[in-house]
Chain A
Amino acid sequence: MRADSVWAPHGHRYAPSEAVDFVVVGAGAAGSVVARRLAREGFSVVVLEQGPFLGTKDFSHDELGVMTLNGITNDHRLQPNVFQEGPGQPATVRPAVLYGKLVGGGTVHFTANYWRFHEVDFVEKSRNGAMAGAAIEDWPISYADLEPYYTMAEWELGVSGQAGASPFDPPRSKGYPMPPMPAKSIGVLADRGAKKLGWHSYPAPMAITSVPFEGRPPCAQCGFCEYFGCEYGAKSSPLPKIIPQALATGRCEIRPGSTVRKVEVDDAGRVTGVTYFDRTRAEIVQRAKAVVLCANGAETPRLLLMSKSNRFPDGLANSSGAVGKYFMPNGGNMVGGLFEHEVNGWKGAHVSRVIHDFYELDPKLGLQGGGGLDTRWDLYPTGFGIMGLDPAGPQWGRAWKQQLRHAFNRTLYSVTHTTSLPIETNRITLDPEVKDTFGLPALRLTYAHDPRDVALYNFFEARAAELLTAAGATSTWSIAPVEAPPLPATHTLGTCRMGNDPATSVTDKYHRTHDVPNLFIVSGASFVTSGRGQPTETIQALAFRAGDAIAQWGRAGGR
């Protein structure tokens, strides 16, 4: 049981009846960055967050409590999802999306992979041409537009890495603020395999402190990164710095336990505030002169679709019909390899090496997009026992137990991260029947793999197995068969895409919705194409850039 204090509001207190300059919905990767910027600029800001406000002392190594019982993620028992594997297929209640539900959002529990997108990720259409059945578009901004904000994100959040270590890296104006994390055995083996194959492994850029940084300790290498909050404050989520600085302005309030159900508009079609449920399920209207939605790529479109009105019968900011469409979860497989000696991947931060030799593929291969692979360990004992071993081997009993005990310290995984194509029918909608604990329509995800994405998964799965074999694995296996949809999805991208054309996109290139002049969207929802895995740095770079644009808009009078 959590103390009531984790639900207490922080910072300056505003009355709901007071029209603040900005309401920010979601205190995660993007919302925290935008809120700090706007508050520093002198605006009054209320941040509404569904989850609690936790600190380092609240984080544990309890695998069952954190992972199985959704300790810091959305709880599907309270907010069920409905999944449908393509239009017209049966719809069933099952976890479809997973996101950090606490102040700091998904960046509290992420693995901390912090990859920039490359130039090609913003210009897929002009580089590779249109694609049948996929809504591939260029972004309305380029890598060069975003580069200063990537640098800002790396230095403001605190990222460890080695600039120039990958020959495939896009140009950068500045190196990383901290040296890379330790190689560990998982990195030594990656380097060994890559060298044999003529590939280029390089130290993974991680949003984790490798050395003392701005009063924060270096990573203790406890090994509990993915899904867990960092009890040392070494993971560079917004919790150690961005959020305290936002609150320190004296103009920002963070209100945990606030579940927004509707964005309110007036007869002129302008946003006037939001209606939300507080912890007692009382409905409260927080008035605002403008609203910024930073509620990830799943809940943002759901909220817009729930915000129907006479003026906006198809959902708010949805004249294009694009709200909820083009859901992209990034693809990827997990390939295991068994080694002769102890790898002990579970000791220390999870990812140590990345390989980007296949970021852009030879057109002769006939594949769309590209990706990366890494070497890692991100299972915990229970997860390893349930699904970590070769599925072709014994799954219980004496032989299985022997293998479990032998392999726990000798297994290394290579995880692949690939493009998802933007497919119109892969989308978030409101379920017509199932309701959540507040009586609101459940989030429905309709998603079917595009065969071109599957071809890419298969290509990368083969590369991962090749890498592990070259590194000396005595056997390899895949534990994420491509036939299954990748559920629950943690990368929720593309559902409110940016663009220059109001007929085909939801926001302009400054994140303002085409339809509503004082409504902004900044999150993974803003993505036009999926990139090639690891979206967090791009989400945060967008947030830094959007903060500039929204502040400028506000200074100019907020029209």
Chain B
Amino acid sequence: MNTDQPLDRRTFVTWLGGVGASLTLVQSVHAEIFAEAGAPPTWLTFTAKQAALVDAMTACIIPLDDAPGAHETGVTTFIDRWIAKHEPASKVRYAAGLDDLEQRTRAAHPEARSFTTLTEAQQVSLLQTIEKDPFFGLVRTHAIMGYLGAPSYGGNRGGAGWKAVGFQNHGIWSAPFGWYDRPGNDAR
């Protein structure tokens, strides 16, 4: 028994008009997707050195592959603004955590000047030694928030994080929603 009430977009838009709403709702959702956020002229939370460390660290957590990673989407900008505006207590946690990262770098690679100058493979194996630490968990959470949160927060530039996973903040969907409810694929 087919009880679904699929609604195509035209019907929906007609309906919106019918109740006095306007298409600006739909358009504003689109505008949100394509909002670009530029890098801040100055860091609000980090020193330039700290920002470089956060950038290197988050690039390991969400690396560039055939889709942009943390570095390409402004994740460090996101974290810098997020802490300044919403999570001031995390500023000292970053300062301490990044200091610790540099100390570990020098212990493991006496010749290296900074974590930022290590090869990616070296960086990853160093981070593997701290991946259970609360600081690493904090940076991971922030990196994902920056990569997949709304672009207005300074990360996810151009919605690139959303594109990478296949999400669209469209506002209106109708059947078929996925492969399994496409006519012919329904193997009930």
Contacts and interface: CB of A to CB of B under 8 A. Distances in A.
B172 A222 contact: yes
- Give the most central of A63, A191, A346, A396: most B CB within 10 Å: A396
Contacts of B29: 61
A182 B4 contact: yes
Given A65-B150, A184-B175, A346-B167, A189 B60 contact: no
Nearest to A344: B178
A100 interface: no
A405 B164 contact: yes
A398 B174 CA distance: 33
Contacts of B3: 162, 179-180, 183, 203
Given A162-B3, A218-B7, A398-B65, A348 B149 contact: no
Interface stretch (A209-217, A321-329, A361-369): A209-217
Given A184-B181, A401-B69, A386 B188 contact: no
B32 A61 contact: yes
A540 B56 CA distance: 52
Nearest to B144: A385
Interface in B128-172: 131, 140-141, 144-145, 147-150, 152-153, 161-162, 164-167, 169-172
Interface stretch (B12-20, B36-44, B97-105, B111-119): B12-20
Contacts of A382: 144-145, 148-149
A179 B166 contact: no
A361 to B, nearest CB: 27
A402 B188 contact: no
Contacts of A281: none
Contacts of A449: none
A342 B120 CA distance: 33
Contacts of A61: 29, 32, 150, 169, 171
B61 interface: yes
State which size class the interface on A falls in: 35 or more
A409 B15 contact: no
B149 A397 contact: no
A409 B178 contact: yes
B84 interface: no
Contacts of A181: 5
For A189, A211, A382, the residue with the greatest tally of chain B CB atoms inside 10 Å of its CB is: A382
The secondary structure that dominates the A interface is loop
Interface in A169-212: 179-189, 191-192, 195, 203, 210-212
A181 to B, nearest CB: 8
Counting chain A CB atoms within 10 Å of each CB, which of B6, B69, B176, B185 scores highest? B176
Given A183-B4, A381-B167, A405-B165, A341 B180 contact: yes
A69 interface: yes
A398 B177 contact: no
Interface centre among B165, B175, B188 (most CB of A within 10 A): B165
B141 to A, nearest CB: 6
A223 B5 CA distance: 16
B188 A192 contact: yes
Contact of B60 (A65, A343, A396, A408): A396
Nearest to A386: B144
Interface residues of B, number: 57
A182 B167 contact: no
B180 A386 contact: no
A397 B63 contact: yes
Contacts of A186: 178
Contact of A342 (B7, B60, B67, B179): B179
Contacts of B67: 405
B165 A408 contact: yes
Contacts of A346: 167
B61 A405 contact: no
A431 interface: no
B10 interface: no
A61 to B, nearest CB: 5
Contact of A69 (B62, B63, B86, B144): B86
A166 interface: no
Interface string A335-368: 0000101111111100000000000000000000
B174 A64 contact: no
A341 B152 contact: no
Interface in B29-71: 29, 32, 60-63, 65, 67, 69
A183 B60 CA distance: 39
A395 interface: yes
28 contacts: A61-B169, A62-B152, A68-B145, A182-B181, A183-B4, A184-B177, A184-B181, A185-B179, A186-B178, A191-B188, A192-B188, A217-B15, A217-B21, A218-B12, A342-B178, A343-B179, A345-B177, A347-B173, A381-B149, A382-B149, A385-B165, A386-B140, A386-B144, A396-B60, A396-B131, A397-B63, A404-B165, A408-B165
Given A61-B169, A64-B150, A397-B124, 19 more contacts: A61-B32, A61-B171, A62-B150, A68-B145, A179-B3, A183-B4, A188-B180, A192-B188, A217-B19, A221-B172, A222-B172, A341-B179, A347-B178, A381-B165, A384-B148, A384-B165, A395-B140, A404-B165, A409-B178
Q: Across chains A and B, which 10 residue pairs bring their CB atoms closest together, nearest first?
A: A185-B178, A341-B179, A185-B180, A381-B148, A385-B144, A344-B178, A347-B173, A408-B165, A221-B173, A184-B177
Interface of B: 3-7, 12, 15-16, 19, 21, 25, 29, 32, 60-63, 65, 67, 69, 86, 124, 127, 131, 140-141, 144-145, 147-150, 152-153, 161-162, 164-167, 169-181, 185-188
